[in-house]
């Protein structure tokens, strides 16, 4: 089975712009979670979607949003980018309480 | 809510030496426990997991971990470290419904 894929792998944006990241889960996985990873804060949970519904949400501002489509693919959007949003964004799909991670999208905000 | 502590930020071991990475969790019920490994710039790879049953679990790449309920610990071990094991290791605890918390990570350096 193919693993979790994330696109794009790298992104450079400027402050104030918005960005959309995409995640395709492992076939058959209905849950997708998103994490932000930075050297200072470590791995922080953003949100989780299951069957197109947000089931869990972390402690991030409303600028961070997501959605899930009927084929379980998920997107996350960050509006009005700030310098502090520079991070590795990881997506994980899960089945039976086990999460499998994609390679991440490296976002740099200038 | 559940939480995880990895007391060691950085560990250095010689190639061929044994390794133990510590993980302590806080959770009221029997947790789901995981160890992941991350190479620089990459995603996290699942090494092993514990849900129930035998408290000594075997994983990939020769790793194993032992769940000790009395100590709220889930330490990761490897009898002989290889240079390719240099990476960052994350312990995680799940409470169900994919509600997971990760530790801060332990960076492993392997000396030749």
CA distance A45 to A37: 9
Strands B32-38 and B24-26: unpaired
Report the residue of chain A nearest B99, measured CA to CA: A56
Please report residues of B whose CB lies closer than 8 A to that of A56: 97-99
**A19, A110 in Cβ contact below 8 A?**
no
Please report residues of B whose CB lies closer than 8 A to that of A29: none
Nearest one of A60, A45, A18 to A101, comparing CA atoms: A45
Rounded to a whole number of angstroms, the distance from the CA of A42 to the nearest CA of chain B is: 6
CA distance B72 to B31: 10
Measured from the Cβ of residue B112, the count of other Cβ atoms closer than 10 Å reads 6
CA distance A55 to B100: 13
Rounded to a whole number of angstroms, the distance from the CA of A46 to the nearest CA of chain B is: 11
Is A83 exposed, middle or buried, given 0-12, 13-18 or 19+ CB atoms closer than 10 A? exposed
Q: Which of A89, A99, A105, A107 to mutate to test the interface with B (most CBs of B within 10 A)?
A: A99
Query: Could you read off the pLDDT tens digit of each residue along chain B, which spans 112 residues?
Result: 889 999 999 999 999 999 999 999 998 788 899 999 999 888 999 999 999 889 999 999 999 999 999 999 999 999 999 999 999 999 999 888 778 899 999 999 999 9
Peptide bond into A10 cis (omega under 30): no
Q: Which of B1, B41, B44, B90 to mutate to test the interface with A (most CBs of A within 10 A)?
A: B44
């Amino acid at each position: 089975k193919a693993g979790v894929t994330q696109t794009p792998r790298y992104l450079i944006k400027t402050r104030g712009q918005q960005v959309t990241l995409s995640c395709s889960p492992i076939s058959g996985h209905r849950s997708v979670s998103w994490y932000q990873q930075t050297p200072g804060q470590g791995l922080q949970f953003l949100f989780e979607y299951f069957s197109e519904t947000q089931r869990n949400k972390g402690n991030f501002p409303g600028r961070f949003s997501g959605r899930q489509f009927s084929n379980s693919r998920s997107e996350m959007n960050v509006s009005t980018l700030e310098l502090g949003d520079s991070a590795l964004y990881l997506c994980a799909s899960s089945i039976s309480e086990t999460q499998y991670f994609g390679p991440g999208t490296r976002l740099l905000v200038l | 809510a559940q939480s995880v502590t990895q007391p060691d930020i950085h560990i250095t071991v010689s190639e061929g030496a044994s390794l133990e990475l510590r993980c302590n969790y806080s959770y009221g019920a029997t947790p789901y426990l995981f160890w992941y490994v991350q190479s620089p710039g990459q995603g996290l790879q699942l090494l092993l997991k514990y849900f129930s049953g035998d408290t000594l679990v075997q994983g990939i790449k020769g790793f194993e971990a032992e769940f000790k309920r009395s100590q709220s610990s889930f330490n990761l071990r490897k009898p002989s470290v290889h240079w390719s094991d240099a990476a960052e290791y994350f312990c995680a605890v799940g409470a169900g419904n994919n509600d997971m918390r990760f530790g801060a990570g332990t960076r492993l350096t392997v000396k030749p």
